[in-house]
Structure 1
């Protein structure tokens, strides 16, 4: 069996039960400003030494978030739309349906709203899309393939609203805060050959080797994340459409 874990560069298929991990750190502002400008600076010698031992490098979290946005729009969104379209074709093969023109129109409106970069307006349009989708599902509740359609739709809303739009709002807020925001000092560590996520053993040793830098004040926060979405920060309620 496979389960999907997600990072800001896309999805990963992981064997059932096999969690992968990522270490993220917040540097003190003095070192964070250096790392943002030149992550190979000699000023970061102690940190770079630890990273070399783990075949690792830093990625500024704001950049990771920002990179995810075009990835979703240019690649992942098309995959979700394809899955929904394939589910509709299966419904058509199993029995007639009305085509969902109202859903298609609501989808176009939601995408147009997203192009304005107004997250609240996009959420409002997404709610209209959800309402149209729910009405379509209710109209065709007896179709033998309706469950497949519902599953494809849920994946779309989960990723588009609870991750993409939440990430987009986070990036916009950080742009306003500039270098004073939490994520301005936040870095993900790609380790074990530059992997975004890695084994527990690698994460354990990396975290242990970073502790002296935290005690010295260079690092303010060390956090561990895993590849199970349930264990990661959850989107605010307004994104649960």
Structure 2
């Protein structure tokens, strides 16, 4: 039996609008994006904020239970990586981080028209196959 992977759509926003999207997702400057997200019952969360929330939760509950803590903390403390991840947004559908391929495909298709403008600079769809994700560098492996 073949494993059915779930998917997540991610978008990179332009420098100017990434900060707006993080602070004010209802801002008229990102309305075309907000309209598409609403159509798909989707929300967006900044990848940097996702990492920062993970670190905060680990520090609150005990880092020994969070295997990616050291790597994630190093990532959010690195200015170059911070600059990259504050512009990257994960899209959640119906509150879910990953979702069925047809949902991801429809969302990706509708967002495609916003790519290469000043709003979305890059659009990607990732599957949940762990083999497709980077592994922590040696110094962060437990």
TM-score, with length taken from structure 2? 0.86
Residues of 1 paired with 2:37 and 2:62: CA distance?
31
Counterpart residue number, 2:77:
172
Counterpart residue number, 1:238:
139
Superposed displacement of residue 74, structure 1: 4.3
Unaligned runs of 5+ in 2: none
Unaligned runs of 5+ in 1: 1-15, 81-158
Superposed displacement of residue 22, structure 1: 1.1
Aligned positions of 1:73-112 closer than 5 A: 73-75=59-61
Q: Which has the higher helix share?
A: 1
Determine which of 44, 47, 51 is the counterpart of 1:65. Answer: 51
Answer whether contact 1:21 1:199 (CA < 8 A) is retained.
yes
Aligned positions of 1:149-160 closer than 5 A: 160=67
Determine which of 117, 120, 138 is the counterpart of 1:216. Answer: 117
Superposed displacement of residue 217, structure 1: 3.7
Residues of 1 paired with 2:126 and 2:111: CA distance?
15
Residue 129 (structure 2) pairs with residue 228 (structure 1)? yes
Between stretches 180-189 and 199-208, larger displacement belongs to: 180-189
Counterpart residue number, 2:31:
45
Alpha-carbon deviations, 1:52-73, whole Å to 9, x = none?
1110111111110011123334
Determine which of 84, 87, 94 is the counterpart of 1:182. Answer: 84
* Structure 1 outlier segments of 4+, above 3 Å: 72-78
Number of residues paired by the alignment? 141
C-alpha distance 74-50 of structure 1, shift in aligned 2 (>3 A): same
Q: Higher Cα Rg: structure 1 or 2?
A: 1
